[in-house]
Amino acid sequence: MRKTTSKMWAAAAGVTGIALLATACSGNAETPSDDGSDGGSENITLTLGTFNEPGYTDEMFAAYEAENPGITIENKKAATSNEARDNLNTRLASGSGASDIEMIEIDWLPELMQYPEKFTDLTDPALEGRWLDWKVAQATTPDGILLGYGTDIGPEAIAFRGDLLAAAGLPSTREEVAAELGGADATWEDYFAFGKRYTEATGKPFFDAAGAIYQGMINQVENAYEENDGTIIAAENPEVKAIYDAVTTASVTDNLSAHLGQWSDDWTASFQTDGFATMLAPGWMLGVIEGNSAGVTGWDIADVFPGGAGNWGGSFLTVPAQSKHAEEAKKLAAWLTAPEQQIQAYKNKGTFPSQVEALASDELLSSTNAFFNNAPAGQILANRAKGIIAPFKGPNYFAVNDAMQSALTEVDVNGGDPAAQWDTFVAAVNALG
The string of pLDDT tens digits covering residues 214-267 is 999 999 999 999 999 999 999 999 999 999 999 999 999 999 999 999 999 999
* Residue-level pLDDT at 427: 98
In this prediction the pTM is 0.87
Q: Say which CATH topology domain 44-153+313-366 has.
A: D-Maltodextrin-Binding Protein; domain 2 (3.40.190)
Q: In this structure, what are the phi and psi dihedrals at residue 33, rounded to the nearest 5 degrees?
A: -125, 160
The pLDDT of residue 53:
86
Q: Phi and psi of 22, rounded to 5°?
A: -65, -40
How much is the pLDDT for 304? 98
Strand 352-353 relative to strand 71-78, pairing: unpaired
Q: Which CATH class is domain 155-311+378-431?
A: alpha beta
- pLDDT at position 52 is 87
DSSP, collapsed to helix, strand or coil, labels residue 101 as strand
So what's the pLDDT on residue 34?
40
Please report the beta strands in 147-268, taking only residues with DSSP state E, as ranges in sequence order. 149-161
pLDDT at residue 21, rounded to an integer:
43
Q: Report the alpha-carbon distance of residue 9 to residue 399 in Å, rounded.
A: 8
226 by DSSP, 3-state: which?
strand
Burial label for 238, CB within 10 Å (0-12, 13-18, 19+), is exposed
Which parts of the chain have pLDDT scores under 70? 1-41
pLDDT at 15: 39
Predicted confidence at residue 14, as pLDDT, reads: 41
Contact in structure between 370 and 350 (CB atoms under 8 Å): no
Q: What distance in Å separates the CA atoms of residue 71 and residue 125, rounded to the nearest whole number?
A: 25
What integer pLDDT is reported at residue 129 of this predicted model?
97
Contacts of 369 (CB under 8 A, 6+ apart): 286, 301, 350, 375, 377
Closest CA to 156 of 372, 318, 331, 384: 384
Q: Where in the chain is the domain with CATH 3.40.190.10?
A: 44-153+313-366, 155-311+378-431
